Structure formats: C-alpha cells, structure tokens
Amino acid sequence: MSAQDGAATPPTDLVTLIITTSPTPSAPSTDLISNILSSFKLHCPALLSCRIIVVFDTYDRIGECMRLKKGQITAEGARAVELYKLNIKDLILKEWYPEEKGASRVLVHGQALAEFGSPCLVENHVALSTSQTDDGRVAFIEPAARLGFGLAVRSALRMAETPYVWVQQHDWPLVRDIPLGSLLEVMQASEGDSAVPVKYICLPAIRMLSYATSAHVEQFPTLRTLTAELKRDFKTSRPEVVVPLTPLFFWHDKPHIASTAHYLARVFPTRLAIARGDFIEDSIGQRARTQMKDGNWVKWACWLYCPGDGREVCLQHRHGRKWRGVEAEMQEKAMFLEMRSKQSSPLPAP
C-alpha cells in the first residue's frame, strides 16, 4: 500500500514532526529510526517535507546491566549512545538535505532548561543543549540528564513553530497509509467548533481495534453516549475523501497529531504537571480519562483515527527496549530455523 494524500502539497507550514528516542539495545545502529523513516516514505511521505525536532533522551546512571525503564545503562551502552546520537543526526540531515553531505550542514547551537516539580528546589531542572539548521527545518535536543517521554515532548513543543505537531516514538513505524493533509484539514476546520473540537488524533495499534465498541467504551454509559453522538466520517474539500474518527477517551503516547497550543495548555499547564522520567499516558492520560468519564470530553478533544470502521491498524510496535536491530533479528531467526531443522531431522537408524 502506498501513500498518496499529502504528497503533492506537503503541509510544511502546518506540522512539525517530533521524534523522541532514548538509549536502546540496537544502538549505535540507526535501525529503529531508519525503520520509522522508511515507513513514512511508504505511508506518509509528506512528513519528510515537514520540520523535524529529534529529542535524544539519555540515562541516569551506569550499572552492570541495562535497566532502561529505570534509566540505567552499561558502560558499553553509554559509549554506544554517543555514537547513536551522531549516527542519527547524520541520518536525519542526509534525509532532509539530500543535496548536501549531512555532516557538513552547519548547526546553530543553543541552551534551554526543562524545569519540573517545585520551583523551590533549585535542582528541579535539566539543562538542554539544542542545535538546529539555519533554516530551522531540523533541530536536535540533547538533555544533560534523563527527561522521560513527557518532558522530552514538552521540550520539543516549546521549540515548535507550527500550529500542529506529529509526535512519534522511535519504535512505532507506520503500516498503513495516513492521509496527513486530510487529517490536518479536519483539525483546522474544527478550530471554531466548541461542540466538536478536534485537537488530538491518535493512530490505532492492534489493541485499539474496534475501539468504539470495546470495553473501554461500552462499560461506561457516558462514554457510550458520547461515542454515539460524536463518531462520524468528517468531510474534506475532496468529496471522495472522508476522515473516519471516533472519540478517544484517553491521551496516548503512541504516534499522534495534535494542536501545539492545546498540547501545552492541557498536558503541560504548569511545571508541576508531569514528573521527570514519566510518560504522559501514565499520569495525564489517566487524569484525562477520569474527566472524560465524568462527561468532560470537550476539554481534551481526543479522537482515534479509525479506517475500515475501526478494524485496521496503522502502527506496529518494535519494542525499542528489547529490539536489537535488523542484523541481530536476522541472526536470531537464522539460529531459530537451524534449531528447528535439527529438531525435525530424523534420528539416525540404530
């Protein structure tokens, strides 16, 4: 399946692509991000013409074994992370500036802070090193200490200059065409609609199939009513193109498109909103769902893209904390096949 929507007129002035990445067993290989970019080329090429901000989250400490969720990495892993950042920068610059040698592109460097928690504690911030191309199309953020997904996204949102952002975790490639231009058109058209605002659109993964009739909705009368009222095919400027959306009663971290201003206002209203190291869905997502179950869905205005009446997935999870890259995956498959072959071979006659 090849993407068509948005390829002719990429929405470069409307959306910024934010990619968050962090220490991974596949480092220093760029396989994770290369896989993401390849999926964009196939299923949403317009994204490769948009501005991009890459956030390189880091680790808290070095230990004897990798415990990535806890911010721990090995000494070898720490060395791999530094190479990984250089490799990803080169990959992105070559992709966004194919006419030049990526490494030769001059970057403008800067500094910023990611504050969190009580302002009474002076240590409640992380220093950020930023670098971007002179035309602002490509930017990188490197924190001095681990941010976590939430603060990584907020740091990128503050740099974004477009009204919308596409937030992309490093291990969720696309597997289906995404009509980016049409999605943005629906979001823009809803700007003045206080009853049916479209501020956030999440892409469906396998566990979100048939969401509108799932237990996440059906067990709650308020959510059932909201779904019956709001679920629809949104019209676009092209009569043959509609955008199927159903209200989503959660704020997921997996790839999504959102209003930049809405993101900052709802998810990050103050420095106390999210702790360092936290994911958005583990804290804000739960709070949002509670408020939606009380009937306050409009405050969050979350939707799920549901092609095929909610029976088609758009994402595949690569499990970045475990995946070791394409080469390692091929070696593991070869070993497995060899083992299976030996097990199925007939025993020699006595």
pLDDT in tens, 166-176: 999 999 999 99
Last residue of a domain, one of 143, 175, 207: 175
- Note whether 200 and 121 are same-domain residues: no
- Note whether 64 and 194 are same-domain residues: no
| Domain, as residue range, for 100 | 11-175
- Note whether 155 and 267 are same-domain residues: no
Round to whole Å and give the CA distance between 52 and 101: 18
- Count of structural domains, the chain: 2
Last residue of a domain, one of 175, 205, 233: 175
Beta-ladder partners of 51: 16
Average per-residue pLDDT for the chain:
90
217: CB partners within 8 A, 6+ apart: 211, 223, 224, 227, 249
- Note whether 218 and 163 are same-domain residues: no
Instruction: Give the pLDDT band of residue 11 (cuts 50, 70, 90).
Output: confident
275: CB partners within 8 A, 6+ apart: 116, 117, 148, 150, 283
- Note whether 87 and 169 are same-domain residues: yes
- Note whether 71 and 48 are same-domain residues: yes
Round to whole Å and give the CA distance between 188 and 197: 10
| Domain assignment of residue 328, yes or no | no
Q: What's the whole-number mean pLDDT along residues 33-53?
A: 97
Of 52-66, 141-155, 264-278, 314-328, which range is least confident? 314-328
Q: What pLDDT score was predicted for residue 228?
A: 97
| Domain assignment of residue 343, yes or no | no
- Note whether 20 and 163 are same-domain residues: yes
- Note whether 218 and 162 are same-domain residues: no
Q: Could you tell me how far CA 251 lies from the centroid of its own chain? A: 12
Round to whole Å and give the CA distance between 141 and 36: 19
| Domain assignment of residue 201, yes or no | yes
Last residue of a domain, one of 112, 147, 175: 175
| Domain assignment of residue 20, yes or no | yes
pLDDT beyond 50 at 34: yes
Q: What pLDDT score was predicted for residue 61?
A: 85
- Note whether 22 and 137 are same-domain residues: yes
Of 224-228, 235-239, 255-259, 346-350, which range is least confident? 346-350
pLDDT by residue (tens digit) across 66-94? 787 778 889 888 899 999 999 999 999 99
Percent of the chain as helix, strand, coil, to the nearest 5? 35, 20, 40
DSSP letter string, 76-93: HHHHHHHHHHHHHHHHHH
- Note whether 143 and 280 are same-domain residues: no
| Domain assignment of residue 281, yes or no | yes
Q: What pLDDT score was predicted for residue 349?
A: 60
Q: What pLDDT score was predicted for residue 104?
A: 64
Using the 8-state DSSP alphabet, how is residue 213 labeled?
A: G
- Note whether 231 and 154 are same-domain residues: no
- Note whether 304 and 212 are same-domain residues: yes
